[in-house]
Structure 1
Amino acid sequence: MGKTFRARRLPAHGVKAGWAALLPSRKPTPELDRAITADVVVIGAGFAGLAAATRLTELDPSLSVAVIDADVVGNGASGRNSGFLIDLPHDISSGNFGVDAATKSRNEITVARSAIQLYTRLAHTNGWDKDVFDPCGKYSVAMTDAGKEHLAAYSSKLKALGEPHQLLDAAAIADVTGTRSFKSGLFTPGAAMIQPVALVRGIADSFEGSSVTLFERTPALSIETSWCGCAVKTPKGEIRADKVILATNGHAESFGFGRGELLHVFTYASLTEPFDPSVLGGLRKWGATPAAPMGTTVRRINGAEGDRILIRSRYSYNASIEVGSSSMKGASKLHDRKFADRFPELRNLKFQFRWAGAMALTWNTVPLFGELEDRIFSACACNGIGGTKATAAGIAAAELVIGHRSALREIFQAFDKPQKLPPRPLVEVGVRFNLAMREWRAGRE
């Protein structure tokens, strides 16, 4: 007997992200306005959904794949990412894979590098320049003595794993960043930097003429299953398919999946107006994550109109999967302070764009992955590292649907199921307190 899963709410992403504002306008693909059939329908055209569609057609070019998104490509969480594809764990000893620490770390690296390898292939195939995808590595930076000690300890763990890296003293990291605010840095060469909206648009546009059909501004209103397949209903049409891949991250809960298991957390970013590159030394293009996990991420990007600085900091719990104006104002004030602390010579520079992006976390930091119901597969719950983890989940979900075995698929299938959360009032108090404490501990970082 079949089941019906109706969407209780649709995504509301808020103000446009700065990444999209920097790009020329793009004409979206048409919305679905009729009944069609496909072998697989992918709901969500972000990192996970686009990766799933790409991998499906890599494995079987004869498959017909329909991808639908409630918004336009790039306006969702993937286009609000700060643009880091990180290949190494933030904390080598973190997480719980049920195996020893070294194997756990290796699994995390396999997950991340599978995503970066996919984008490397797509960049080569589609001729993307380094403004879209740049395998240039990244830095971690320390503002405090405690942060400096953390980077030194992290360096020791990387050395034990045989991972290449370089510790930088204050003078060396100043040569990179153009500011003397940082006490030390650590460079890891395997990460990539992206313009996230340009990247997801590039994948979407590459589907033209292939067996993948994309429909934007086409929200899924319901998913119906039966013995003969699935029917995904939209405002003006319907897709009948053998299988469904749900790539909606936290909005899986909107269909009833992961209910009582997902934590909806937002992070915030601000991007400055352009400035004359001569007023700040160092490299004109770099990205740095903080020594403390809940600290402040910084990027410098360059363009024809000048250079810009991106600041990402602040986390908030928003069970409604929407952000209010008060949260944006609070994050903006914090960004102003973080920017002035790091770039005192630019303290009069104004921020031009500010935005928020959603993450979906689970209590035990595992994805919501696999066949949730007959014919419905999930690649959701990025746990805060969407660029790589969501992409890898999409790849693994496609391999699961098609029956293709790989080390990546085995890693995802070995994850525990998401743990049930405590009652909602306790969750709200606990998560908000936990986020506040972690940010307090990060301090200047």
Structure 2
Amino acid sequence: MPQCLAHGRPADAVALAQFDLLQRRLRLETERKDIGLEAFIYGAAERQPWTKSIVRHRLNIQHRSAFPVSVYANASVCLEIQDTGICVVDILHLCIPKFEPARCLRGSPSRLDLHSALSVVCRGHRRRKPKGRDSVRPYTAYDSVSGWNQIQKEGQRCHDEQLRGGRRAKFAVVGAGFAGVAAARRLAEFYPGQEIVLLDALPAGEGAAGRSSGFMLDRVETKIDARNTGPQADWQTAILQSGLAWLHDTISARNIDCDWQDIGHYKTSTTLQGARELDHLLARLDGKGISYRRLSRLDISAEIGAAQCTNAVWLPNCVLVQPARLIQGLLATLPDQVKVYTNSAVDRFDIGNPHTLGVGPHEIKADLVVFCNNVTLPFFGYGGQRQLTVYTYAGMTPELDDQELAKFGTAAAWGVTPVERLGPTTRKLVSRRFLFRAGFSYKKELPFAHVEPYLRHMYSQRYPQLKSHAFEYVWGGALSMTRNGAPIFGRMARNIYALSGCNASGILKMTALGKLLAEEIADADSPLLTDTRRFARPQWIPPEPLRSLAVSYNVARMKKAMRN
């Protein structure tokens, strides 16, 4: 008899009997070979699984076999399938994308007493079907306005149009950031003449796409978080370079002015831990044959003026842009068949044929829905156990005079990313301003009264030689982060697809993945898409309060490493 992992005592006999009964009633067919499956079963009286007993069963699926999916009555079950496709399951419905719906041979619910919720987590996604017209959590706008948008001239901004009335479309894309714009543009190429609706809750360019630092690094080794190695790192680099090439072609063909500067960037460290990490980075670059230039202390002072920096290298693999102008230019040049509606937050989502998206009293009916809304994806019932939300903060100075600009080196523009994951990201801008990005918060945006003094303090420490450390604009931006850096990508349910998990690589990564998601929908296979299906498997993240504890622990560990 299975043993309880927590206490080593036999599992409840009645529960096991009902487990065996339902095992014969619910079956799943798949074409995959030797897929391992673990079922974690929590009894009805033990609703706090992290402190109570757990019964674990190890099961296997053989090639083309009918597999019994098991569940206790009055229990919630989490089934994690390894090396397979995305699943959507509740107690009455079971299906796998790219496969036929499973046969669900149900007995009498009253006889089985099935008051359980069955969810299957697969390739890093939890499937929970939204229920009813009020299933979407209310959207909360940012407390601040992006400085990138504020410094744009009026003629450079994309026109905002809200959704009015009802519309019928072939595709509805939720989220008008880099992923959503790329998906909509690519879908228009595959389905000319079919109407595509692109929705965003904020004004054009005010989402995360218009709040980044504008770095487009095309090699994974040079990023702040470069955890992966081997084939997965090669795939990530291929994704970044694919996004860069597609953006370059799109911008050139449509004459989008976004301050495109192919000038590389600097990687710096200010601590002993950072110096060690920089040495490891250079060893990886040497192994890949990637060129770089190491700076002396005099070079650091002359080129970027950072008094605290002790080590720095210049790397050629980076393009700098004005992100708000880039996303607004991409929105303004979409094909006519793509209808863009901003300031149009989706507050209702009904699954059907067609699906219905509600925006206040207005609605859109679409045959297929694509969610490219990153941090708000869990609002629609998808990805909540595979991603978390982090806010980062930036300040932008007023225009600086020649004397102050000279303290940042002789070049007209440059960008710096830190080796240390908690270090500041900085840019000297062609608009005669300076961008300073530092600090983060988990789950919630911090108020301006907390953020502005912190940024000013960090700025003064990094550049004490300046006369003033005031900012004209201060804002925050949300990132969707996954545990292992892999994106949420693919089919969630019938005619529902999603993309999330930018992991601080929003411009290039989400552009490439948005394009690939459209190709997935259109069945346009490619080696890069095949690799994306293979590696887009974000790991499960435990729920609260363990999630907050894990975030706090990791931040404390990084701070300690920097102090030491």
Normalised to the residue count of structure 2, the TM-score between the two structures is 0.71
Contact 1:84-1:194 within 8 A present in 2 as well: yes
Q: Match for residue 367 of structure 2?
A: 242
Contact 1:268-1:314 within 8 A present in 2 as well: yes
Contact 2:266-2:313 within 8 A present in 1 as well: yes
For the aligned residue pairs, the C-alpha RMSD in angstroms reads 2.4
Query: Of the candidates 483, 507, 516, which is equivalent to residue 363 of structure 1?
Result: 483
Query: Of the candidates 415, 419, 430, which is equivalent to residue 291 of structure 1?
Result: 419
Shift of 1:20: 1.0
For 2:319 and 2:194, the matched residues in 1 are separated by 30
Runs of 4+ in structure 1 off by over 6 angstroms are: none
1:335-377 CA-partner distances (Å, limit 9, x unpaired): 2232222222215231111111111112232212110111110
Map residues 367-406 of structure 1 onto 2, 5 A cutoff. Answer: 367-406=487-526
Q: Does 1:210 align with 2:336?
A: yes
Q: Match for residue 10 of structure 1?
A: 139
**Residues 122 and 275 of structure 1, relative CA distance in 2, 3 Å threshold:** same
Q: Does 1:190 align with 2:312?
A: no
**Residues 442 and 312 of structure 1, relative CA distance in 2, 3 Å threshold:** farther
Q: Does 1:221 align with 2:221?
A: no
**Residues 45 and 439 of structure 1, relative CA distance in 2, 3 Å threshold:** farther
Shift of 1:140: 0.8
For 2:563 and 2:451, the matched residues in 1 are separated by 15
Query: Of the candidates 131, 156, 163, which is equivalent to residue 290 of structure 2?
Result: 163
For 1:27 and 1:113, the matched residues in 2 are separated by 27
Query: Of the candidates 463, 480, 499, which is equivalent to residue 343 of structure 1?
Result: 463
**Residues 342 and 107 of structure 1, relative CA distance in 2, 3 Å threshold:** same
Q: Does 1:309 align with 2:434?
A: yes
Q: Match for residue 254 of structure 2?
A: 126
For 1:375 and 1:45, the matched residues in 2 are separated by 19
Shift of 1:21: 0.9
Shift of 1:3: 6.5
Unpaired runs of at least 5, structure 1: none
Contact 1:273-1:349 within 8 A present in 2 as well: no
Shift of 1:255: 1.0
Q: Match for residue 278 of structure 2?
A: 151
Contact 2:273-2:562 within 8 A present in 1 as well: no
Query: What one-letter code is carried by the residue in structure 1 that aligns with 2:304?
Result: T
Q: Match for residue 75 of structure 1?
A: 206
Q: Match for residue 170 of structure 2?
A: 39
Shift of 1:4: 4.9
1:254-296 CA-partner distances (Å, limit 9, x unpaired): 1111123321111111111221133323212000100212211
Shift of 1:147: 2.7
**Residues 130 and 260 of structure 1, relative CA distance in 2, 3 Å threshold:** closer
Query: Of the candidates 97, 102, 106, which is equivalent to residue 234 of structure 2?
Result: 106
User: Secondary structure at 1:302's aligned position in 2?
Assistant: coil
**Residues 414 and 338 of structure 1, relative CA distance in 2, 3 Å threshold:** same
**Residues 148 and 3 of structure 1, relative CA distance in 2, 3 Å threshold:** closer
1:351-410 CA-partner distances (Å, limit 9, x unpaired): 111111111112232212110111110111212222222222212211111111123322
For 2:327 and 2:268, the matched residues in 1 are separated by 28
Contact 1:229-1:375 within 8 A present in 2 as well: no
Greater Rg by CA = 2
**Residues 443 and 214 of structure 1, relative CA distance in 2, 3 Å threshold:** farther
Q: Does 1:136 align with 2:136?
A: no
For 1:130 and 1:359, the matched residues in 2 are separated by 22
Aligned identity (percent) is 27
For 2:302 and 2:250, the matched residues in 1 are separated by 32
**Residues 349 and 91 of structure 1, relative CA distance in 2, 3 Å threshold:** closer
Q: Does 1:407 align with 2:510?
A: no
Q: Does 1:418 align with 2:538?
A: yes
User: Secondary structure at 1:288's aligned position in 2?
Assistant: strand
For 1:13 and 1:408, the matched residues in 2 are separated by 35
**Residues 407 and 62 of structure 1, relative CA distance in 2, 3 Å threshold:** farther
**Residues 36 and 135 of structure 1, relative CA distance in 2, 3 Å threshold:** same
Contact 1:265-1:316 within 8 A present in 2 as well: yes
**Residues 119 and 416 of structure 1, relative CA distance in 2, 3 Å threshold:** closer
Q: Does 1:268 align with 2:393?
A: yes
Shift of 1:175: 2.9
Contact 1:271-1:351 within 8 A present in 2 as well: yes
**More relative contact order, 1 or 2 (CA 8 Å, 6+ apart):** 1
Q: Match for residue 446 of structure 2?
A: 324
Contact 1:174-1:282 within 8 A present in 2 as well: no
Unpaired runs of at least 5, structure 2: 1-92, 94-128
Query: What one-letter code is carried by the residue in structure 2 that aligns with 1:156?
Result: A
**Residues 113 and 105 of structure 1, relative CA distance in 2, 3 Å threshold:** same
Shift of 1:50: 0.9
Query: Of the candidates 347, 357, 366, which is equivalent to residue 232 of structure 1?
Result: 357
Q: Match for residue 432 of structure 1?
A: 552
For 1:70 and 1:181, the matched residues in 2 are separated by 40
Contact 1:269-1:313 within 8 A present in 2 as well: yes
